[in-house]
Amino acid sequence: MSGISATAKPRLGRGFRLQWEEAQQTHVLLYPEGIVKLNGSAGAIMTRCDGTRTLEAIVDDLERTFRATGLAADVEAFVALAVERQWLEVDE
């Protein structure tokens, strides 16, 4: 799956919980009998996918926060992967 629209508003997949783990200094994704440790950039993207912000706005925010440019392709690729794995949902 690819081609998440810039105006899509990704949100956490049903049945998943995203939280910060102090002991491991990392975000984790929790679901029935499963755990995914997110790396720093995955955590930064996932925490912004709250269903109210567009992909475009998320990219802007990340570029501002990390003083970077040209993140759109990487962020879109990650969101597409996360949708495929049902970590995130977008409306069709």
Partner 1 sequence: MSRTSADARAASRGIGPPLWLLCELTYRCPLHCVFCYNPTNMRSIGSELDTSAWLKVLREARALGAVQLGLSGGEPLARDDLEEIVAEAHRLGYYVNLITSGVGLTEPRIRALKEAGLDHIQLSFQDSTREVNDFLSSTRTFDLKSKVAALIKRYGYPMVLNVVLHRLNIDHIDEILEMAERLGAEYLELANTQYYGWAWKNRDALLPSRAQVRRAEEATNRFRERIGQRMRIYFVVPDYFEKRPKPCMNGLGSIFLTIAPDGVALPCHSARILPGLEFPNVEEASVDEIWYESDAFNRFRGDGWMKEPCRSCPERARDFGGCRCQAYLLTGDPANADPVCELSPHHGLVVAAVERAERAANGGAPAREVPLVFRDHRR
Min dist. Cβ of residue 17 to partner 1 (A): 6
CA-based nearest residue to 47, from 32, 30, 27: 27
Between 15 and 70, name the residue whose CB sits nearer to partner 1.
Answer: 15
To the nearest 10 degrees (0 to 180), the angle between helices 40-48 and 72-84 is 80
Confirm if 87 and 45 have CB atoms less than 8 A apart: no
- Rounded distance, CA 54 to CA 49, Å? 8
For partner 1, the closer CB: 33 or 73: 33
Smallest gap from Cβ 23 to partner 1, in A, equals: 3
Least CB distance to partner 1 at residue 46 (A): 16
Q: Kindly list the residues in this chain that would bind partner 1 in the complex (CB under 8 A).
A: 14-15, 17, 19, 21, 23-24, 28, 30-35, 86
